[in-house]
Amino acid sequence: MSHLAQQYQTNGYYGIGILYSDNSLNVGTLWRSAYILGASFIFTIGRKYRVQSSDVTKTWAKLPLYHYPDYKAFLGHLPYKAMLVGVEMSDRSIPIAQLEHPKRAVYLLGNERSGLSGKILDHCHHIVHLPGAFSLNVAVAGSIVMYDRVSRFPTVLPGRAT
């Protein structure tokens, strides 16, 4: 069995994306972090992303990015049995340190201005928030979520020996 197949069997998989991103640089940064931190895919909802010349790792060739025109289309394409994890400062959220990351997870981030609505949070299996009293940059928040996951699920990351 390949290392990648063993990783999915042991640790599952995850994807991460942004709802209505305000800034394409955030998507590019999240994409690069997702590749480095072992995500299976990333996605955007509502706003397409164009490859940036600043992408020195050519992430577009290594990790798929899916685009959904709206939230309904996104929900219709969630992977089978994957758990939706909303990342939002909310009275319904728990600290990320308390989250038992699902084996098959899709992490959803809102943009810095509007976040995730209550209606969207109703669809989430889990809702987490990060430490701090203020909202972080969405790409930074996503990177912290991914780091938290990989720190708990030892895995072979791209470019690393086993």
Mean pLDDT of 96-101: 96
Q: How far apart are CA 20 and CA 110, in angstroms?
A: 7
What per-residue confidence (pLDDT) applies to 124? 97
CATH class of 16-152: alpha beta
Closest CA relative to residue 5, chosen from 161, 156, 159, 160: 156
Q: Are 62 and 32 in contact (CB under 8 A)?
A: no
Domain boundaries, the chain: 16-152
- What is the band of 141 on the pLDDT scale with cuts at 50, 70, 90? very high
Q: What are 82's two structure tokens?
A: 């994957």
Mean pLDDT of 5-19: 76
pLDDT, greater one: 51 or 71: 71
Mean pLDDT of the chain: 84
pLDDT exceeds cutoff 60 at 52: no
pLDDT exceeds cutoff 80 at 103: yes
- What is the band of 21 on the pLDDT scale with cuts at 50, 70, 90? confident
